[in-house]
Amino acid sequence: MLERLLGSQPELLAKLHQLEAAGISPRVVFSSALRKVRDERPRESRAEWGAKIERPALGRIAASLHSLIARRDGSCSALGYQPCGPAGQKEANLRLGEQAVCVAAGWGFSLVLTETGGVYAGGLDDECVPAANSGRQAAPRLERLRFPTRIFLISAGAAHALAVDEAGDAWSWGVGDDGRLGRPGGSAPARVKQLPDRCAAIAAGASHSLFATALGALYASGHGGSGRLGLGVELTDRRAPHRVDLEGVVYIAAGKYHSLAIDASGVVYAFGDNSYGQLGVGDDMDRLVPTVVDGSFARLGPKQVAAGAGHSLVLVANGDVWGFGNNARGQLGDHASFDGLREEKTRGLETRVLPRRTTTVGVKDLVVVVEQFDDDEEEERRREQSDDSSVVVVSATLNNDAEDLASDDGQTDDDDDVASEVWVPKRIPGLCGRSVVEVAAGSDAIDDEGHTLALTATGTILGLGSAQHGQIGPVARDQATTFGHLATTPRDILRGTAL
């Protein structure tokens, strides 16, 4: 559309060429124009106050140090770390006074979006919840936050929160000393005005924020450590949203120190901290720019990504769930040991990743070619590639045209221990074949462990991983292992009550 517009306006095109020759980027010009149009447009909601908002497609489950569930009947439940029910309590109902449609879980606080576009908050974090409702309560009554407009998206981080209203404006509140609020000012809810276009998606990490616009542009602000902002070698904190070099973004997720994204072609990207393999790229090296997780994911039709403290989840079109990263609590299921996974890389199927464009800190826009070769051919092929620094070889785990490198239950023939780390995407045993429609990844503030939640099409909520606070329901004594309280196979939390 932009090409047709410029083609029909030769004078405008000539002026842009003059500006570019003068050292002024056309991107700056267009961003300034979009910002001006955005600031001048009337701020109107799509419906009258008191009417129901359009129910978000996702957000019926949320995971952090605790778990939150928004049922179809409008009620809301919490499990796990206080204030959302005492540790070990099966379930605590949150008192709202309105019908809940979406939930977001922070580190010790909860957010609930209601059908009228209101946001309720409660918990231990004084910066993110009304002062009258902070403190330890077994079954807290959440209080409504004051917004001058109706909200339809929410996200919660460690000590800050994000929202998007019906006009497409992003909002933030909470702790912001490292720039995670994306704006100057205090901790009260306020608009993030630095975005040049309407916001379509948000994700709050532990200390950073991601914003995706309606045009598919990605912006990041906050703590820059480990490359979680995806801005390259400059790891400084960013106090305003900065443009990430990624186009066509349709879904985003922010973990403790890492970030995930899906583009319109179905390619999954990851960047930031990779201490546990949570970027799914086959090693534990941080990535400072968006890097393709595995090109084969595009054929599976990724629908959602979720990021926890040290593990990542990808939900694909057929309802299966893939995971990678920290598995110390079984949050990725009962996979083979990591040594076994490393040995699998030498078997007869590998993926050659040929970058069309590279930088000094990562690889983007990858062409993936799957090759099958005999063991006798392997050494010769490696010698041929040894002088070509543009070729990176990683193991293929998503090739549906050949056998998986491990069986469907994630086990190898010679080792059935739980893998503490999974460096490449693996199907999560017990969540595949269950028609999952939404996933959530929990965090832990101290040891980077967590849990996994999955909502199925029949309304069953499944949980696995950390259970020491009751975040996946009470765990029986005979289910405790040397890892502590955990569940390596999915446990039914609720049946048929969420959709």
Dihedral angle sign, alpha carbons of residues 367, 370, 375, 381? negative
Residue found under tokens 């500006």: 19
CA distances for 488 relative to 73, 319, 328, angstroms: 30, 19, 10
pLDDT in the model for residue 137: 47
Q: What is the CATH number of domain 52-339+415-494?
A: 2.130.10.30
The span from the CA of 2 to the CA of 215, in Å, is: 12
Question: Which tokens in the block code for residue 347?
Answer: 């078997």
Run of H or E including 4: helix 2-7
Sheet holding 238-244, edge to edge: 199-204, 208-213, 218-222, 238-244
Q: Which residues contact 480 (CB under 8 A, 6 or more apart)?
A: 486
The per-residue pLDDT string of the chain (499 residues; one tens digit each, 9 = 90 and over) reads: 566 666 667 776 677 677 677 666 666 555 556 555 444 444 443 334 456 666 677 899 999 989 999 988 899 988 887 655 444 455 678 878 889 999 999 988 899 999 999 999 988 767 787 754 544 444 457 889 999 999 999 999 999 999 999 999 999 999 998 999 999 988 899 999 999 999 999 999 999 999 999 999 999 999 999 999 999 998 999 999 999 999 999 999 999 999 999 999 999 999 999 999 999 999 999 999 999 999 888 999 999 999 999 999 999 999 999 999 999 989 998 754 333 223 223 232 232 222 222 222 232 332 222 223 334 444 444 444 333 333 232 222 333 332 332 333 333 333 345 679 999 999 998 899 999 999 999 987 778 889 999 999 998 999 998 887 788 876 543 333 323 344 556 666 655 544 4
Q: Are 140 and 124 in contact (CB under 8 A)?
A: no
Q: Which residues contact 463 (CB under 8 A, 6 or more apart)?
A: 67, 451, 452, 453, 454, 471, 472, 473, 487, 490, 491, 493
CA distances for 97 relative to 111, 207, 340, 487, angstroms: 14, 31, 52, 34
Question: Which tokens in the block code for residue 372?
Answer: 């099958």
User: What pTM was computed for the model?
Assistant: 0.74
Give one word for 292, left, alpha or beta, with left for phi > 0 and alpha for psi -120 to 50: beta
Q: Which residues contact 126 (CB under 8 A, 6 or more apart)?
A: 134
Q: Are 223 and 207 in contact (CB under 8 A)?
A: yes
Count the alpha carbons within 13 Å of 55 in the hemisphere toward its beta carbon.
12
Q: Are 150 and 52 in contact (CB under 8 A)?
A: no
Q: Are 194 and 147 in contact (CB under 8 A)?
A: no
**What residues does each domain of the chain span?**
1-41, 52-339+415-494
Instruction: Give how far the C-alpha of residue 412 lies from the chain's centroid of Cα atoms, to the nearest Å.
Output: 29
DSSP structural state of residue 64: S
Angle at 157 between CA 287 and CA 122, to 5 degrees: 170
Q: Are 214 and 207 in contact (CB under 8 A)?
A: no
Sheet holding 76-80, edge to edge: 61-63, 66-70, 76-80, 92-93
Sheet holding 436-441, edge to edge: 436-441, 451-456, 461-466, 486-494
Strand-pair partners of 211: 202, 219
pLDDT in the model for residue 24: 65
Find the largest Cα–Cα distance for the chain: 76
Closest to 418 (Cα-Cα) out of 453, 449, 454, 392: 449
Question: Which tokens in the block code for residue 259?
Answer: 């970030």
pLDDT in the model for residue 383: 41
Instruction: Give how far the C-alpha of residue 250 lies from the chain's centroid of Cα atoms, to the nearest Å.
Output: 12
